[in-house]
Amino acid sequence: MYFEGLTEFLTLYYLKKRIRACLDHRFIDEICRINKEYEIYATFWGNLALIIGIKELWRYYSKGCSHNNIDNLLKNDIYKASLELAKRYSIKLMDLIDVLEKLE
């Protein structure tokens, strides 16, 4: 589930760069549609991208998903992992659209 969510997040990030309207139509337009089941996981990855940077997150994704700090977060279910992320980095978690708006 985590890695499907990461794929969904990176897809939305790419679409944000290429097809801006996809942020507003991510659940209704076929080209923009993300799997609703993975939205909470995509949100988790988005919040992490705000902390470590999108390039670092892409490196993690494209190099086979191995990074001790990230891997330690993924041991928990998504709710515990999100709380740990907020606590560890002293951040307020944002929703998916807010995250995408903040990322360059």
Residue 47: what pLDDT? Answer: 95
Residue 9: what pLDDT? Answer: 92
Q: Which long-range contacts (CB under 8 A, 24 or more apart) does 79-88 make?
A: 81/44, 82/43, 82/44, 82/47, 85/44, 85/47, 85/48, 85/51, 86/47
41, 47, 39, 45: which is closest to 90 by C-alpha? 47
Q: What is the pLDDT of residues 47-87, one digit of tens each?
A: 999 999 999 899 899 887 667 788 888 898 999 999 999 99
Residue 90: what pLDDT? Answer: 95
Residue 41: what pLDDT? Answer: 95
Residue 32: what pLDDT? Answer: 67
Q: Is 80 exceeded by the pLDDT of residue 100?
A: yes
Q: What is the pLDDT of residues 24-36, one digit of tens each?
A: 666 666 766 777 7
Q: Is 80 exceeded by the pLDDT of residue 104?
A: no
